[in-house]
């Protein structure tokens, strides 16, 4: 019994043929398919007509502060440090929150000690920055994010303080 239905078609060519090679007979008889999009951008640059963003300089002091603050926060969550040591680094509400989280039983603690991985900063204003990074516990990787703000009331570390924190 012969089936006359055709369910699959050959994929259209995405690249021009290689010069010096002959095409197969089936490809030679097939009509070329054209796309309405030529593949070129209307404006040279990235995005939708926007000029490329200028790189923003990151304060090295903010980078060191972010790594230090996140490392100490993970140590408090692992119960290796008391929460009071976070007072100069975190906003008062966050110190209480991290202290309360450290007292709760966390299932991830059974995987091992938290080790801070890469930490990245992105300036979000003249006196603020967004922090995102990762940390590992045993074989698993987790995410951490924070917001830094430079405040005149902050002591040490160039006036930076963590005002928002999310530990995954």
Q: What's the CATH code of the domain at 143?
A: 3.10.450
Q: How far apart are CA 88 and CA 154, in angstroms?
A: 7
Contacts with 20 (C-beta within 8 Å, 6 or more apart), sequence order: none
The predicted pLDDT at position 125 comes to: 86
The predicted pLDDT at position 96 comes to: 93
The predicted pLDDT at position 86 comes to: 94
71 is in which domain, residue-wise?
60-167
Q: Please indicate, yes or no, if residue 100 is contained in any of the structural domains.
A: yes
Torsion of CA 84, 90, 92, 96, to 10 degrees: -60
Q: Please indicate, yes or no, if residue 8 is contained in any of the structural domains.
A: no
The predicted pLDDT at position 109 comes to: 84
Q: Please indicate, yes or no, if residue 109 is contained in any of the structural domains.
A: yes
The predicted pLDDT at position 129 comes to: 94
The number of distinct structural domains making up the chain is 1
Q: Please indicate, yes or no, if residue 34 is contained in any of the structural domains.
A: no
The predicted pLDDT at position 159 comes to: 85
Q: Please indicate, yes or no, if residue 3 is contained in any of the structural domains.
A: no
The predicted pLDDT at position 36 comes to: 64
The predicted pLDDT at position 42 comes to: 57
Q: Please indicate, yes or no, if residue 10 is contained in any of the structural domains.
A: no
Q: Please indicate, yes or no, if residue 26 is contained in any of the structural domains.
A: no
The predicted pLDDT at position 106 comes to: 81
Q: Please indicate, yes or no, if residue 7 is contained in any of the structural domains.
A: no
Per-residue pLDDT of the chain in tens (168 residues, 90 and over written 9): 566 666 677 777 777 766 665 555 555 555 555 556 666 655 554 555 555 556 667 788 899 999 999 999 999 999 999 999 999 999 999 999 999 999 998 888 888 999 999 999 999 988 899 999 999 998 999 999 999 998 876 555 568 999 999 998
């Amino acid at each position: 019994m012969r089936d006359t239905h055709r369910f699959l078609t050959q994929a259209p060519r995405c690249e021009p043929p290689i010069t010096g090679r002959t095409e197969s007979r089936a490809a030679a008889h097939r009509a070329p398919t054209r796309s309405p999009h030529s593949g070129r951008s209307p404006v040279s640059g990235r995005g939708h007509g926007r000029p490329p963003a200028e790189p923003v300089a990151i304060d090295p002091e903010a980078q060191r502060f972010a790594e230090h603050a996140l490392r100490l926060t993970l140590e408090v969550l692992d119960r290796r440090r008391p929460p009071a040591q976070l007072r100069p680094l975190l906003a008062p509400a966050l110190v209480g929150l991290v202290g309360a989280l450290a007292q709760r039983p966390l299932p991830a603690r059974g995987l091992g000690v938290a080790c801070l991985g890469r930490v990245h900063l992105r300036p979000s204003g003249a006196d603020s920055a967004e922090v995102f990074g990762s940390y590992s516990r045993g074989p698993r990787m987790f995410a951490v994010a924070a917001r830094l703000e430079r405040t005149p009331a902050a002591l040490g570390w160039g006036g930076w303080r963590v005002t928002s924190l999310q530990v995954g």
